[in-house]
């Protein structure tokens, strides 16, 4: 089958850890045809279908020059067997516009994963609000007084933007409240931008766990991203150390509850972020950690994902 990956530039892939590359590699071993484009290459014009200037690639097996470009063509998205939306955040206006184009492509017959409507309806930090049973004390606001009151109640808090990724823009303010005003003013742009504030969870020292769910079923291993060198952030992009481990009892409980709900909404692949026993994010744009879990535990995450994709396309 022909698979189109909507992703960041291929030249930016770090193939030793990139989950989209792991998907490509697994699909290629099964004889599937690999195509790729960037969001800006997707266009629509009245009288036609949603199209993209895309390139067909073959994997070389090399670490650096990891693909050969076999063909460049403009093709309708409905002409592919599957379109995988794997563009990394930020979830900004341009990302949103891309999902609308992908929704139009669906109307024309394209099969898009994750479904673009589901992407729009599950902003990764705000999606947890639907499941208050599993989350830590959390505030969503752009009001400075509300931030101060939340800190006064919980004393040790994390502040973060709603559109960040990889640990960008995350700050911890301890009991002394040092720089709380300055940090809140910066993140909210003086009250013009909404942020999230959460009670600090000491369990971060054991890692920010990424739990993957594929078509409603949890992968039995998580990647605990453990902060290093005095950092409060466990994100791999922020220097965290990734340690794969079996899911805990609470991990299973959260994943088994959310999995079927999210799958029914068109989310084939989801990455839950869990600290201790608390859900902190629901990642739906381009969940990662495939290769780290596979390399450390011998459980083929990409294989399971392509199995699920093939089953969806056969249904």
Active site amino acids: 125, 160, 210, 225, 233, 273, 281, 283
CA angle 227, 7, 195 (to 5 degrees): 50
Give backbone dihedrals phi and psi of 286, rounded to 5 degrees, phi first: -150, 65
SS3 track for the chain: CEEEEECCCHHHCCCCCCHHHHHHHHHHHCCCEEEEECHHHEECCCCCCCEEEEEEEEECCCCCCCEEEEEEEEEEHHHCCEEEECCCCCCCHHHHHHHHHHHHHHHCCCCEECCHHHHHHCCCCHHHHHCHHHCCCEEEECCHHHHHHHHHHHCCEEEEECCCCCCCCCEEECCCCCCHHHHHHHHHCCCCCCEEEEECCHHHHHCEEEEEEECCEEEEEEEEEECCCCCCCCCHHHCCEEEEEECCHHHHHHHHHHHHHHHHCCCCEEEEEEECCEEEEEECCCCCCHHHHHHHHCCCHHHHHHHHHHHHHHC
Q: How many whole angstroms separate alpha carbon 41 and alpha carbon 43?
A: 6
How far is residue 48 CA from its own chain's centroid?
A: 31
Q: Tell me how far CA of residue 272 lies from CA of 193, 251, 259, 277, in angstroms.
A: 25, 9, 10, 12
Q: How many whole angstroms separate alpha carbon 93 and alpha carbon 90?
A: 9
């Amino acid at each position: 089958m022909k698979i189109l990956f909507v992703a960041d530039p291929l030249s930016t892939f770090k193939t030793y850890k990139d989950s989209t590359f792991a998907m490509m590699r697994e699909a290629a071993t099964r004889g599937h045809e690999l195509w790729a484009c960037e969001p800006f290459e997707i266009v629509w014009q009245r009288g036609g279908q949603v199209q993209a200037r895309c390139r067909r690639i073959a994997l070389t097996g090399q670490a650096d020059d990891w693909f050969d470009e076999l063909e460049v063509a403009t093709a309708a998205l409905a002409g592919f067997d599957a379109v995988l939306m794997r563009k990394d955040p930020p979830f900004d206006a341009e990302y949103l516009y891309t999902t609308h184009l992908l929704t139009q492509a669906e109307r024309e017959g394209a099969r898009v994963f994750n479904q673009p409507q589901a992407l729009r309806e599950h902003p990764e930090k705000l999606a947890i609000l639907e499941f208050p049973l599993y989350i830590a004390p959390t505030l969503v606001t752009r009001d400075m007084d509300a931030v101060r009151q939340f800190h006064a109640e919980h004393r040790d808090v994390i502040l973060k933007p709603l559109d960040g990724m990889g640990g960008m823009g995350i700050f911890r303010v301890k009991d002394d409240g040092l720089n709380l005003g300055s940090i809140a003013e910066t993140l909210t742009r003086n009250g013009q931008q909404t942020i999230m504030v959460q009670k600090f969870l000491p369990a971060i020292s054991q890692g920010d766990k990424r739990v993957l769910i594929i078509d409603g079923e949890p992968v039995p291993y998580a990647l605990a991203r453990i902060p290093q060198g005095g950092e409060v952030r466990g994100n791999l992009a922020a220097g965290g150390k990734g340690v794969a481990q079996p899911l805990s009892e609470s991990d299973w409980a959260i994943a088994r509850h959310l999995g079927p709900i999210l799958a029914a909404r068109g989310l084939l692949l989801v990455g839950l972020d869990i600290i201790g026993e608390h859900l902190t994010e629901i990642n739906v744009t381009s969940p990662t950690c495939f290769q780290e879990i596979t390399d450390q535990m011998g459980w083929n995450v990409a294989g399971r994902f392509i199995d699920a994709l093939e089953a969806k396309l056969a249904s």
